[in-house]
Amino acid sequence: MNVLIVEDEKGLALEVDEFLSHEGFTVEHARTKKSASEKIFVNNYDFILLDLGLPDGDGFDLLKMLKGMNNREDAVIILTARGAVDDRVSGLEQGADDYLAKPFSLNELLARMHAITRRKHRLESNDINVKGLKINIQNRTVTYNDERIALTKKEFEIFNYLVLNKNRVISRTNLTEHVWGDVLEINSDSNFVDVHVKNLRKKLSAYIPIDWFETVRSIGYRINI
């Protein structure tokens, strides 16, 4: 899958590029509105990561241009340091698929991209298989041999996020932010996410051994598949 990063901050673009390339994406850069519009005009992308504050104009214009073109399926994720609620609302209203406020976690970005892919392309059967557990994103359920495991909304979110970011240590901070959103003053350091993970592990281990669901001491969790 190919991604266009429209971002004037070179350092950030390079890091996102490195991360996404590592994940198997083909990545291109555009640092200005002008070069971005040229690239969008010539190529189809699976994802366009769009910064709103570009040196030669507003990223919203690119979104408008894209929406005016026929037969384009490019998913747009707005990345902005403006953070204002208004931007978020108008971004989604104008047809962006998602919105991430800077600074964002690359894992979070990846999870959002996966979610969009599933939504857009209705991948395979929508189910992800983890050691015999079937995760259905649409229905937000986990089943084992067609038997539904009763997970709470948050437990499901945690499990799904860890699976999406499999084989990588996900810190509590990252996990908290993903599940609870960017709530001011709620803090990461507190271990209340642990309570949910503990319950989640208990529920899963009732069905299969979960030695692949690892607790990384003082940092967070990792699912090894």
Partner 1 sequence: MKLQVKLALYNTLTKLAIILFTGLLILLSIEKISYDHVELRLEENERETLRNLNSKEINSKLTNQKPYTDFNILKEEFITIKPVKFEPTVTKNASFTTETRTNESVTQTYRILTHQFNFNNHTYLLEIGVSITSIEELKSIIKRFTLLTLLIALALTLVSDLIFTKFLLAPFYKIIDRKLIKVNDPMNFDYEKVKTTTQDFELLDDSISTLMKKISNLFSLEKQFIANVSHELLTPISIISSRLENILLQEELSEASENKMHASLKTLNRLKSIINSLLLISKVENNQYDKADVVMIAGAIMEIEEELEDRLEEKHLTFNNNIKYIYSIMGNRPLMHTLLFNLINNAIKYNKPKGSITVADELKEDVYILEITDTGAGMDQQQIENAFNRFEKFETEEKESYGLGLAIVKSITAFHGIRVKIDSVKEKGTSIFLIFNRE
Residue bearing tokens 């969790």 = 221
Asked if 177 interacts with partner 1 (CB under 8 A), we say: yes
Asked if 90 interacts with partner 1 (CB under 8 A), we say: no
Asked if 184 interacts with partner 1 (CB under 8 A), we say: yes
Give the residue from 44, 82, 40, 86 showing the smallest Cα distance to 64: 40
Segment interacting with partner 1 (CB under 8 A) among 30-38, 104-112, 119-127, 204-212: 104-112
Give me the least distance between CB of 144 and partner 1, in Å please: 24
Cα(46)–Cα(119) distance, rounded to whole angstroms?
A: 13
Tokens of 143: 């089943």
- Length of the chain equals 225
Which C-beta is closer to partner 1: that of 23 or that of 28? 23
Asked if 58 interacts with partner 1 (CB under 8 A), we say: no
Contacts (Cβ under 8 Å, ≥6 apart) of 50: 6, 59, 62, 63, 76, 77, 78, 79, 96
Query: Count of residues binding partner 1 (CB under 8 A)?
Result: 45
Which residue ranges make up the site for partner 1 (CB under 8 A)?
9, 11-12, 15-16, 18-19, 22, 53, 81-85, 101-107, 154, 168-169, 171, 173-174, 177, 180, 182-192, 195-196, 218-220
